Amino acid sequence: MALDQNWYTEIHADAGSAFSLKVKRKLHDEQSDYQRIEVFETEGYGNLMTIDGLVMLSDRDNFIYHEMMTHPALFSHLQPRRVVIVGGGDCGTLREVLKHPEVESVVQVEIDERVTRVSEQFFPALCESNGDPRAEFFFGDGIRWMKEAEPGSIDVIIIDSTDPVGPAKGLFSEPFYRDCLRALGEDGLLAQQSESPLYHSASIIRPMHDEMRKSGFLDTLTLFYPQPVYPSGWWSATLAAKSAPVTFLREEQCENKVFETHYYNDAIHRASMAVPEFVRRELLR
C-alpha cells in the first residue's frame, strides 16, 4: 500500500529501507544557524523531532536511547562525579544523568541552542531537570570546548551527537578522542552513540573502536539496544575506558538503584554487553 502525504518517512537509501510515522500536523519548522529543526505531532508516537530530515526522537521511545546512553556508563565508573555531555540538545540525556545522586556537576555542550529551546517547548518532560543546580549549559563548539578542557577534570564524557556528518563529523575522529582522553581523570570513561549494528558495523562501529584505541584508550566495548524510530530499529553505544577494562563496576548499586527507569536495569546492562557474532567478526578484522 502506497503511503499518502500524511506520513513522515525517513529513507535510508544505502540500506534500501525506510521508516514512517503517521502525522497529524506539523508543530514547528525552523532553519537555525546550523540545521533545519522540525517537530511533528504523530498518531502513535507523540511528538517527533527531526533535524535535517533525520529522526532525532519521539515521545514514545526516546527513553530507551537516553537511558542506554547514560546509565551503563555511569554504573561502569566507581565515582561518576563530574560529567560532560557533548551534544544532547534535547536534554533527555542530561535528565538521566542527573538521576544519579553521585553526580556533582554536569556540563552540557551543545552547538545549537535552538535544539534545546525547541525541546523545552515541545518535549518538556525531557527538560524537567534543566533547572537542577548541578547542571550547566554551554552553547558552542564541543570539539573546541574539549580541546580547552582542563586535563583530568572529567569522570565521564557522553557524546550524544547526531550522525557523523556536518557539525558532528569531527566528534568521531582520533584528534577529538585524544582531547577527551586528556580531559578525563585516571579512571575516566567515554560513551558515544555508534549507530546501527546492522547497517554501520563496518562503516562506523569498527572505525570508532580503531580511532578510540589509536587515541590511547585502553579498552572499548559496544552495547546494543532496540530503537524503533532509528534506521533498522537497532542501535548501539560504544564505551571507551582510559586505564582499565570496561566493566559493570557498580552492579550491586544498579540492582538497588534509587531512581526509576523504563527500560534500563541490571539485567539489561549485562545483556547489552553481549556482542552479536557478525559484529564480533567485524571488530576482529
Whether the per-residue pLDDT at 214 is higher than 90: the answer is: yes
**Cα–Cα distance, 194 to 163 (Å, whole number):** 9
Q: What are the pLDDT digits (tens) for 215-248?
A: 999 999 999 999 999 999 999 999 999 999 999 9
Pick the closest to residue 183 from 156, 213, 207 (CA basis).
156
CATH at residue 210? 3.40.50.150
Note the pLDDT of residue 128: 98
* Residue 20 shares a structural domain with residue 92: no
Residue 42 in marked binding region: no
CB 23 within 8 A of CB 42: yes
CB 126 within 8 A of CB 108: no
* Residue 19 shares a structural domain with residue 72: no
The answer to the question of residue 2 being in a domain is no
User: Which cell is 150 given?
Assistant: 582542563
The answer to the question of residue 1 being in a domain is no
CB 172 within 8 A of CB 159: no
Give me the domain span that covers residue 120.
Answer: 61-284
Could you tell me which residues are beta bridge partners of residue 38?
A: 29, 50
Reported pTM? 0.96
Whether the per-residue pLDDT at 166 is higher than 70: the answer is: no
Q: What are the pLDDT digits (tens) for 13-22?
A: 999 999 999 9
Residue 142 in marked binding region: yes
Residue 12 in marked binding region: no
* Final residue of a structural domain among 42, 58, 74: 58
User: Confidence class of residue 164 from pLDDT cuts 50, 70 and 90?
Assistant: low
CB atoms within 10 A of CB 171: 22
Residue with cell 530503537: 227
Residue 59 in marked binding region: no
* Residue 211 shares a structural domain with residue 234: yes
Q: What are the pLDDT digits (tens) for 127-162?
A: 999 999 999 999 999 999 999 999 999 999 999 987
Residue with cell 566507581: 78
CATH at residue 32? 2.30.140.10
Taking residues 190-212, what's their average pLDDT? 96
* Residue 189 shares a structural domain with residue 205: yes
pLDDT above 90 as % of the chain:
93
* Final residue of a structural domain among 18, 42, 58: 58
The answer to the question of residue 127 being in a domain is yes
Whether the per-residue pLDDT at 37 is higher than 80: the answer is: yes
* Residue 218 shares a structural domain with residue 129: yes
For this structure, is 187 an active site residue? no
Residue 20 in marked binding region: no
Residue with cell 557478525: 278
Q: What are the pLDDT digits (tens) for 40-82?
A: 999 999 999 999 999 999 999 999 999 999 999 999 999 999 9
**C-alpha angle 116-254-213 in degrees, rounded to nearest 5:** 70
* Residue 48 shares a structural domain with residue 72: no
Domain count, the chain: 2
Residue 93 in marked binding region: no
Any alpha helices (H) in 129-205, and if so which ranges? 142-147, 174-183, 197-200
The answer to the question of residue 151 being in a domain is yes
* Residue 155 shares a structural domain with residue 243: yes
Note the pLDDT of residue 177: 96
Note the pLDDT of residue 171: 83
* Residue 34 shares a structural domain with residue 156: no
Whether the per-residue pLDDT at 1 is higher than 60: the answer is: no
* Residue 137 shares a structural domain with residue 25: no
The catalytic position among 112, 155, 160, 179 is 160
Note the pLDDT of residue 168: 63
* Residue 129 shares a structural domain with residue 164: yes
Could you tell me which residues are beta bridge partners of residue 37?
A: 30, 51
Among left, alpha and beta (phi > 0; psi -120 to 50; other), residue 195 is left
The answer to the question of residue 130 being in a domain is yes
* Residue 39 shares a structural domain with residue 79: no
**Cα–Cα distance, 72 to 209 (Å, whole number):** 18
Residue 66 in marked binding region: yes
Note the pLDDT of residue 167: 60
* Residue 155 shares a structural domain with residue 278: yes
Note the pLDDT of residue 170: 77
CB 149 within 8 A of CB 179: yes
Among left, alpha and beta (phi > 0; psi -120 to 50; other), residue 78 is alpha
Pick the closest to residue 72 from 208, 244, 273, 282 (CA basis).
273
